[in-house]
Amino acid sequence: MPNINVVVLAAGKGTRMYSATPKVLHALAGRALVQHTIDTANALQASSIHVVIGHAADQLREALAGQQLHFALQEQQLGTGHAVNQALPQLEKDAIALILYGDVPLIRAETLAQLLAPVDANSMAVLTCVVANPHGLGRIVRDAAGSIRAIIEEKDATPAQRAVKEINTGFMAIPVARLHDWLPRIQNKNAQGEYYLTDIIALAIADGCKVHTVQCPDEFEAAGVNNRLQLAELERQYQKRETTRLMLAGVTMRDPSRVDLRGNITIAQDVELDVNVVLEGRVDIASNVTIGPNCVLKNVSIGAGTEIAANSVIEDALIGEDCSIGPFARIRPGTVLDAEAKIGNFCEVKKSRIGKHSKVNHLSYIGDSELGVDVNIGAGTITCNYDGVNKFRTIIGDRVFIGSNTALVAPVNVAAGATVGAGSVITKDVGKDQLAIARGRQSNIDGWERPKKQPK
């Protein structure tokens, strides 16, 4: 692979998005459009990545902070040639400049590698695509031998040129040394009054530089986003691409059109995903996991054999093997479930460790807690972990049985083998194998009459 300097054009406002957010920061599959492009550039192992910014430049710098990026400011948006010229002083003269776009998120690294392959010091390459509807796009003009002669923007094209279906995608690979020669020679004598990068094609041919063309196999790879309708269309294309990849690797999806993948998703074989499953962030799912309908998983690791029932939400958690979760369970950040743990319906667990084979079955809240092995939590149990200012921990040992409707007021420690009677409010530690009962004595009053509504 040659020395690659990537230039990402991301200076435009995106007027047709009708948004205060710059176009390239709108999200597709949970990542900004421009981040998709940057990630693809990184996959190519580019030696440097240069992002040309303009509109809302500070906002883009902040959104992309913490990455190995160089920024070039295009104060006036005077066309693609002008944009690349702003980054030119930062580029290595012996490198190949790969021109990418911050609003074209689905381009594959494999396609760009094909674009780069024929380029050397005396040649460049252009990525083209044959599309059904070329309206608004620059056309590829070829000679009788089939060699490219020029790229004509639609507003400058003749009727015959507008009938051409092969379009310029905008992606180019160009020797940086040649850019130093060609960019200053581009003129803005066109309908838009802009400096088109595409004009270097004619300059290259005139200078005897070979211009290769590589055809993009999928028009959606080269499709840009100009409005929210196009954003939604590319979202569906991305989801189709990713669900297809996973199904071909052994994942079952009951309806792939109703599964959304929004991050770095790794799924082993023999996993089943039902409808309306959303996977976000970093998600790792081991083999033989079953996920029911309407579940959301964000930044989680799921062990082999675990079953997640319908309408459950899991975030920033580690789930062990052969666990059972839901339906209607919420697993909040900081939670760890050891193997064979069970979280039942309408239960919430936050920043807690649930030991092996322990059960929180129904209508309970466990927060800032640590449960040992074989613990049973009765229905309606809560850990009272917050006094309005500070959070406190509850420690429950192995084989503890907590009766239904119990409140454990932290900080409190229930030692191994202890039993807590139903309806108790536990404010003090419970020793090993002790029975704790903390509730008011029952009174039955004879002759009691309920209040009655008075007639109006």
Prior bond of 327 cis (ω within 30°): yes
Which letter does DSSP use for residue 256 in this model? G
Identify the structural domains of the chain with CATH numbers, from first to last: 4-215 (3.90.550.10), 228-436 (2.160.10.10)
Say what the pLDDT of residue 184 is: 95
Q: In the structure, what pLDDT confidence band is assigned to residue 311 with cuts at 50, 70 and 90? A: very high
**Residue holding tokens 């193997």?**
339
Say what the pLDDT of residue 429 is: 97
Q: In the structure, what pLDDT confidence band is assigned to residue 191 with cuts at 50, 70 and 90? A: confident
pLDDT digits (tens, 9 = 90+) for 132-187: 899 888 999 999 989 998 889 888 899 999 999 999 999 999 999 999 999 999 99
Average pLDDT over residues 413-421: 97
pLDDT digits (tens, 9 = 90+) for 424-443: 999 999 999 999 999 988 88
**What beta strand segments (E) does 202-258 contain?**
210-215, 252-253
Compare 227 and 153 and report the one with higher pLDDT.
Answer: 227
Q: In the structure, what pLDDT confidence band is assigned to residue 268 with cuts at 50, 70 and 90? A: very high
pLDDT digits (tens, 9 = 90+) for 50-85: 999 999 999 999 999 999 999 999 999 999 999 999
362 classed as catalytic: yes
Q: In the structure, what pLDDT confidence band is assigned to residue 1 with cuts at 50, 70 and 90? A: low
Q: In the structure, what pLDDT confidence band is assigned to residue 219 with cuts at 50, 70 and 90? A: very high
Report the percentage of the chain scoring pLDDT > 70.
100
Q: How many CB atoms lie within 10 A of CB 100?
A: 24
CB 335 within 8 A of CB 343: no
pLDDT for residue 451 is more than 90? no
Instruction: Please state, rounded to an integer, the average pLDDT across all residues of the chain.
Output: 95
Residue 81: CA count within 13 A, CB half-sphere: 22
Prior bond of 455 cis (ω within 30°): no
Say what the pLDDT of residue 189 is: 86
Catalytic residue among 55, 180, 212, 362: 362
Element (H, E) at 68: none
Average pLDDT over residues 331-356: 98
Q: What is the DSSP string of 86-152?
A: HHGGGS-TTSEEEEEETT-TT--HHHHHHHHTT--TTEEEEEEEE-S--TTSPEEEE-TTS-EEEEE
Say what the pLDDT of residue 423 is: 96
